[in-house]
């Protein structure tokens, strides 16, 4: 094309980023890579091909990690652990800092290599992924330095197995490795089999900066390699980012092993546009939400919810904007949407879209351009005429496909937004700050972006509610995933409580009936059976009683969780007061009773004090966190200390705004049965605390399998089963021990009783 022609047409023309240096790096390795174990490179026994999605061409041969490779890597990580932990925070910080520096020095090489391997536009790898990676290591260099002073009472978890996805290969590596090694853990990381190259380049950087051998080990491979990591007996923690489906498998595989687990899973995140929003800004936000990284983003704003009055306008603007997107060679600097990572994914996207159309959706794709024929591309797509029941509205598509629905009121927006099994992220567009913060507080998602979307930073936590997983990455909250509270110090209290005499029960003047406590009422058990315990009849609850109790807990959740902390505190103080008045009839030792009353006072004190934070991200704006209740929760009490054990578990949950269904000690439920009368007298709203007595094994199974419950704490003997069964809806689980509740109560309990929501609010007059 001549200058004169272009002068008339004003086309953009090609603007290719040079691939030479990255290709040279691959060539220097003869296109074949091994594993990085114990600071050394080891060839693989077998290899598989890695492709360039933009043209389908073969990029490199990646080693398939075997279980013996994983064994060696874990052994290396284990061996490196003591010395790494013994290093001062400052010394560890220097390594993280050096890694950050090296990444910056080789930033373009990383960016180009990532684009070649993954297919995402060079603009994104260059301007977003790689800078965020460097930022993550800088920020966590700081946390390494500060660990000892900021996290007293905590220690590193140990050897961490980390499995990451292909959509942000290097960034997810940074999110996993930086906090792990900053806190003094060692890691075995497996990159996704589609995208291993930047992890291998990263391993070279680790070697360059002299990171001690074994601290970071990279084993490449497919799902089989991942399985070997998950199943490995000498791994203390598994961190996974990927699909909800695989997340469930991991939950089951690690159940009962004592491995700490964090899961960052799928999403179908709502993108809510209110009529008073800057609509042009919102439309541009959609580009960042769903046409970022070809929509292959777990937190992609893939469900557009737009207020009816402006829906037509917004859809028209969106279509016009879509015509202006440029789809093509991701190494072109002026391309918005690159290639889909693999033909498998491409097929899945187009199948789901076709299914949507079959179900009645109207499909819009830009008419002004076509996708390249070579390589794996899918055009930006908008599906309208869909409803909550549509498959494309329910399922995560993981592609450049936006589905659009309308709403009339803020309440309806919330109802639609929360009508999903997921809860990863959300985006809210309005110029009204009352509306913005209200909606932000009511969306069930770990991240809320107000008037922005897909913002990430090392200083802010990221992670999901519900079936989007648990655990956070980034921010102070993310560090706890790589820390463990040091063993409890409850020995003294336990010894005193156990050795002291349980006072004899007052003589019965009349017969006593111990019922279940559901929705604020004493009710007879559905089955009509009783158990006899210490000469008294105790109701034997069944499945249906659990069902009713969960319904009551879920029903009470809305008002209890939106109560002020102050109001919850008043109720707990009143409970303590009433318990003190009834101490004689409860039937526990004085030491246990004193500790119980103190514990109620303790959580009453905390009820209005477990504050969120304001994170310092590099943005003009506010990123604040809310420690939100998890929801309706199940509690299985230990037999040890029938009253204190019950209260220790139930109180932090209730104080933080959760509602509870509790199964008291099977061996001795009587103190809790007596407590019911105290609870009734203490203004605890109906449904906030439900108590079902009976046979633990019978009841806890129903609890663990109930899809309404969002968390279950099991301090009984059957924690492993509970963890396995919790996988269906990915409940948060805490399998505890007597050590835990005899020890001092406090923040760690509150941390487990809440989930952190990060709310991003950029501002500017």
Partner 1 sequence: MAQATSKPIAPMRNPGMPLDLDWVESVRVNRSAAERRATTLTGRRTVKKQWQAAWLLKSITLMDLTTLSGDDTPGTVLRLCAKAKQPVRQDLLDALEMPPITTAAVCVYHAMVPSAVEALAGSGIPVAAVAAGFPHGLSPLRERIHEIRASVAAGATEIDIVISRQHVLNADWAALYDEVTMFREACGEAHLKSILATGELATLENVAKASVVAMMAGSDFIKTSTGKESTNATLPVGLTMARQIRTFRERTGYKIGFKPAGGIRTAKQSLDWMILMKEELGIEWLDPHLFRLGASTLLSDIERQLEHFISGRYSAFNRHPMA
**Residues of this chain that bind partner 1 (CB under 8 A):** 1-8, 10-15, 123, 127, 276-282, 284-285, 324, 333-334, 336, 431, 451-452, 620-621, 762-765
Torsion-angle region of 506 (φ positive above 0: left; ψ -120 to 50: alpha; else: beta):
beta
Give the ranges where 259-366 is alpha helix by DSSP (H).
Answer: 279-290, 308-323, 343-358
**Residue among 160, 206, 298, 452 flagged as catalytic:** 298
- Smallest gap, in angstroms, from Cβ of residue 275 to partner 1? 9
For residue 129, report the phi and psi dihedrals to the nearest 5 degrees.
Answer: -55, -60
DSSP codes of every residue in 668-687: --HHHHHHHHHHHTTTPPTT
Instruction: Give whole-number Cα distances, 479 to 271, 532, 622, in Å.
Output: 29, 47, 21
Look-up of token digits 């009453």: 604
SS3 readout for 59-90: EEEEECCCHHHHHHHHHHHHHHHHHHHHCCHH
- Smallest gap, in angstroms, from Cβ of residue 436 to partner 1? 11
Task: Give the separation between CA 53 and CA 118, rounded to whole angstroms.
Answer: 7
- Smallest gap, in angstroms, from Cβ of residue 638 to partner 1? 50
Among the listed residues 694, 689, 579, 673, the one whose alpha carbon sits nearest the alpha carbon of residue 635: 689
How long a stretch of residues is the chain? 765
Contact 485, 750 (CB under 8 A): no
Sign of CA dihedral 474, 477, 478, 482: positive
| Other residues' Cβ atoms within 10 Å of the Cβ of residue 410 | 18
Instruction: Give whole-number Cα distances, 711 to 705, 721, 756, in Å.
Output: 11, 14, 14
Among the listed residues 224, 227, 252, the one whose alpha carbon sits nearest the alpha carbon of residue 44: 224
Task: Give the separation between CA 311 and CA 306, rounded to whole angstroms.
Answer: 6
- Smallest gap, in angstroms, from Cβ of residue 67 to partner 1? 44
- Smallest gap, in angstroms, from Cβ of residue 127 to partner 1? 5
Torsion-angle region of 360 (φ positive above 0: left; ψ -120 to 50: alpha; else: beta):
left
Instruction: Give whole-number Cα distances, 55 to 390, 539, 621, 629, 635, in Å.
Output: 33, 68, 41, 48, 54
- Smallest gap, in angstroms, from Cβ of residue 132 to partner 1? 15
Active site residue 264: yes
29: which residues sit within 8 A by CB, 6+ positions away?
Answer: 60
Task: Give the separation between CA 486 and CA 488, rounded to whole angstroms.
Answer: 6
Active site residue 298: yes
Give whichever of 284 and 744 is closer to partner 1, judged by the CB atom.
284
Look-up of token digits 């908008």: 382
Task: Give the separation between CA 549 and CA 537, rounded to whole angstroms.
Answer: 21
Task: Give the separation between CA 330 and CA 299, rounded to whole angstroms.
Answer: 21
Among the listed residues 135, 239, 227, 222, the one whose alpha carbon sits nearest the alpha carbon of residue 186: 239
660: which residues sit within 8 A by CB, 6+ positions away?
Answer: 553, 632, 633, 634, 635, 650, 653, 654, 688, 689, 690
Among the listed residues 252, 245, 289, the one whose alpha carbon sits nearest the alpha carbon of residue 266: 245
**Secondary structure class of 338 (helix, strand, coil):** coil
**Secondary structure class of 193 (helix, strand, coil):** coil
- Smallest gap, in angstroms, from Cβ of residue 102 to partner 1? 24
Task: Give the separation between CA 5 and CA 7, rounded to whole angstroms.
Answer: 5
- Smallest gap, in angstroms, from Cβ of residue 11 to partner 1? 7
Burial of 367 (0-12, 13-18, 19+ CB in 10 A): exposed
**Pseudo-torsion of CA 227, 165, 344, 291, nearest 10°?**
160
Structure tokens at 688: 């906030």
**Residue among 17, 114, 124, 264 flagged as catalytic:** 264
Give whichever of 291 and 480 is closer to partner 1, judged by the CB atom.
291
Give whichever of 528 and 764 is closer to partner 1, judged by the CB atom.
764
Contact 488, 739 (CB under 8 A): yes
Give whichever of 317 and 484 is closer to partner 1, judged by the CB atom.
317
187-199 CB burial, b ≥16 within 10 A, e <16: bbbbbbbbbbbbb
Known catalytic residues are 264, 298
């Amino acid at each position: 094309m001549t200058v004169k022609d272009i002068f008339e047409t004003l086309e953009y023309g090609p603007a290719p980023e040079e691939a030479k240096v990255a290709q040279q790096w691959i060539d220097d390795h003869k296109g074949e890579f091994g594993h990085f174990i114990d600071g050394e490179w080891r060839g693989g026994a077998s290899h598989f091909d890695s492709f360039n999605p933009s043209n389908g061409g073969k990029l490199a041969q990646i080693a398939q990690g075997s279980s013996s490779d994983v064994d060696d890597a874990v052994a290396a990580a284990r061996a490196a652990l003591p010395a790494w932990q013994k290093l001062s925070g400052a010394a560890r910080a220097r390594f993280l800092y050096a890694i950050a520096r090296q990444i910056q020095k080789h930033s373009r090489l990383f960016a180009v290599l990532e684009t070649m391997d993954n297919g995402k536009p060079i603009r994104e790898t260059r301007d977003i992924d790689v800078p965020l990676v460097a930022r993550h290591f800088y920020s966590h260099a700081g946390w390494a330095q500060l660990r000892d002073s900021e996290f007293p009472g905590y220690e590193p978890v140990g050897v961490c197995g980390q499995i990451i996805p292909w959509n942000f290969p290097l960034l997810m590596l940074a999110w996993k490795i930086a906090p792990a090694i900053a806190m003094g853990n060692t890691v075995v990381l497996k990159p996704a089999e589609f995208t291993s190259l930047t992890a291998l380049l990263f391993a070279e950087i680790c070697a360059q900066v002299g990171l001690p051998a074994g601290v970071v080990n990279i084993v490449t491979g497919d799902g089989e390699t991942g399985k070997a990591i998950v199943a490995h007996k000498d791994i203390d923690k598994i961190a996974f980012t990927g699909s909800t489906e695989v997340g469930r498998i991991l939950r089951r595989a690690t159940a009962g092993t004592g491995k700490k687990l964090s899961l960052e899973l799928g999403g179908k995140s709502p993108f809510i546009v209110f009529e008073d929003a800057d609509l042009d800004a919102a439309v541009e936000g959609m580009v960042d939400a769903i046409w970022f990284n070809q929509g292959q983003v777990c937190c992609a704003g893939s469900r557009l919810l737009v207020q009816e009055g402006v829906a037509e306008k917004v859809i028209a603007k969106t279509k016009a904007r879509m015509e202006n997107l440029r789809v093509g060679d991701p190494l072109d600097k002026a391309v918005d949407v690159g290639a889909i990572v693999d033909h498998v994914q491409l097929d899945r996207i187009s199948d789901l879209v076709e299914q949507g159309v079959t179900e009645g959706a109207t499909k819009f794709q830009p008419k002004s351009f076509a996708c390249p024929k070579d390589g794996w591309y899918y055009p930006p797509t908008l599906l309208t005429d869909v409803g909550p029941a549509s498959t494309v509205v329910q399922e995560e598509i993981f592609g450049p496909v936006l589905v659009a629905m309308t709403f009339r009121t803020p309440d309806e927006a919330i109802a639609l937004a929360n009508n999903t099994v997921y809860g990863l992220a959300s985006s809210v567009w309005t110029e009204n700050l009352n509306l913005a913060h209200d909606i932000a507080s009511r969306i069930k998602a770990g991240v809320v972006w107000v008037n922005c979307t897909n913002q990430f930073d090392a200083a802010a936590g990221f992670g999901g509610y519900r079936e989007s997983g648990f655990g956070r990455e980034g921010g102070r909250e993310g560090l706890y995933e790589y820390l463990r509270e040091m063993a409890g110090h409850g020995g003294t209290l336990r010894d005193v409580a156990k050795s002291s005499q349980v006072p004899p029960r007052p003589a019965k003047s009349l017969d006593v009936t111990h019922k279940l406590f559901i929705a604020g009422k004493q009710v007879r058990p559905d089955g009509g059976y009783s158990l006899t315990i210490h000469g008294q009849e105790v109701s034997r609850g069944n499945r249906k009683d659990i069902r009713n109790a969960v319904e009551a807990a879920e029903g009470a959740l809305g008002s209890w969780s939106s109560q002020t902390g102050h109001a919850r505190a008043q109720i707990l103080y009143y409970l303590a007061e009433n318990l003190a008045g009834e101490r004689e009839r409860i039937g526990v030792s004085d030491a246990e009773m004193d500790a119980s009353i103190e514990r109620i006072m303790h959580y009453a004190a905390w009820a209005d004090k477990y504050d969120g934070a304001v994170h310092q991200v590099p943005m003009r704006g506010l990123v604040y966190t809310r420690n939100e209740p998890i929801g309706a929760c199940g509690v299985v009490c230990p037999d040890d200390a029938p009253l204190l054990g019950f209260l220790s578990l139930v109180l932090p949950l209730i104080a933080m705004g959760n509602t509870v269904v509790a199964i008291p000690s099977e061996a001795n439920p009587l103190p809790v049965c007596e407590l019911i009368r105290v609870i009734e007298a203490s203004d605890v709203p109906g449904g906030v605390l439900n108590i079902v007595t009976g046979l633990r094994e019978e009841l806890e199974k129903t609890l663990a399998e109930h899809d309404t419950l969002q968390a279950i704490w099991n301090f009984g003997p059957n924690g492993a089963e509970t963890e396995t069964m919790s996988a269906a809806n990915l409940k948060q689980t805490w399998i505890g021990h007597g050590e835990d509740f005899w020890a001092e109560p406090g923040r760690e309990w509150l941390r487990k009783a809440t989930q952190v929501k990060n709310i991003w609010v950029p501002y500017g007059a």
